[in-house]
Structure 1
Amino acid sequence: MDIEDTTGQVDINDRRHRVQEMETALGAAQEQARALRAAQEQARALQAALAQARAGLASYHQLEGYYGSEHWHDDREAMDRGTFEPVGAAGVLSEDAAYDALSLWYGCAVEMVDLAAQLLKPTSDQR
């Protein structure tokens, strides 16, 4: 059956095929938009995490300089001997707490460098 429109005679099967084809294109476009939105949210979350890491960098370097230093060893030995009682918690004088925190930072830094290297490497070099 032919249906007349402003462009002339159009076969109903052509119209159905065109609408079905465009419906498929619409579904694909909607799926891509959802994926892009999710990627944007992930990128914003990553940017926020990186900003927090930058803000904490001074504390990291301060802890890194103290942990294992002569001062750290002296403070820990004094605490172990009972000649020094820290005010509040002294997790920094345990070996595990500071080591675990520094190791986590280090591991994340290595992963970020690896990811950055992969992102910056041309696609042709990644085969």
Structure 2
Amino acid sequence: MKEWQHIEEMEAILKEHQEKVGELQELLTFLQRQQPEYQQLLAYYGSEKWYEDLAEDEAGNLPDSLARGVLSEDEIYNLIGDYHEVSVQMLQLVTDLLTH
């Protein structure tokens, strides 16, 4: 083993983490900026308008070309669950990072 191999290994770790932290910063910025839209989606989910739109879909009144995943209870519910799970993971990671 070269006596400087550990430096190369540490350099690789540094570069990878710099790249990933940069990506995380971009994603967090996106999520922070998009909170109003996410809150709008949550307000729509299960609202009177959502039920009206669902009834229109079930009656066959929406165009076939219209994406309607938002009318599926599962897709929005799963997104809410994903946000919760990611939030818990971030809290655990932050706690670990700040205590070590």
Kindly provide the CA deviation profile for residues 7-31 of structure 1, in whole angstroms up to 9, marking residues without a partner as x: xxxxxxxxxxxxxxxx51x222222
Compared CA separation, residues 65 and 28, structure 1 to 2 (3 A): same
> Does the aligned pair in 2 maintain the 1:60–1:102 contact within 8 Å?
no
- The structure carrying a bigger strand percent of its residues is 1
The alignment partner of 1:64 has SS state of helix
Q: How far apart are 1:42 and its partner, in Å?
A: 1.6
Please give the alpha-carbon distance, in whole angstroms, between the structure 1 residues aligned to 2:21 and 2:61.
45
Partner residue of 2:90?
A: 112
1:37 to 2, 8, 15: 15
Q: How far apart are 1:110 and its partner, in Å?
A: 2.1
> Does the aligned pair in 1 maintain the 2:56–2:62 contact within 8 Å?
no
> Which has the larger Rg?
1
Please give the alpha-carbon distance, in whole angstroms, between the structure 1 residues aligned to 2:92 and 2:61.
43
Please give the alpha-carbon distance, in whole angstroms, between the structure 2 residues aligned to 1:101 and 1:42.
23
Identity %: 31
1:85 to 61, 64, 68: 61
Q: RMSD of the TM alignment (CA)?
A: 2.3
TM-score (norm 2): 0.74
Compared CA separation, residues 32 and 62, structure 1 to 2 (3 A): same
TM-score (norm 1): 0.61
Please give the alpha-carbon distance, in whole angstroms, between the structure 2 residues aligned to 1:110 and 1:68.
25
> Does the aligned pair in 2 maintain the 1:76–1:93 contact within 8 Å?
yes
Please give the alpha-carbon distance, in whole angstroms, between the structure 1 residues aligned to 2:25 and 2:92.
17
Please give the alpha-carbon distance, in whole angstroms, between the structure 2 residues aligned to 1:76 and 1:36.
50
Structure 1 stretches of 5 or more lacking a match?
Answer: 1-22
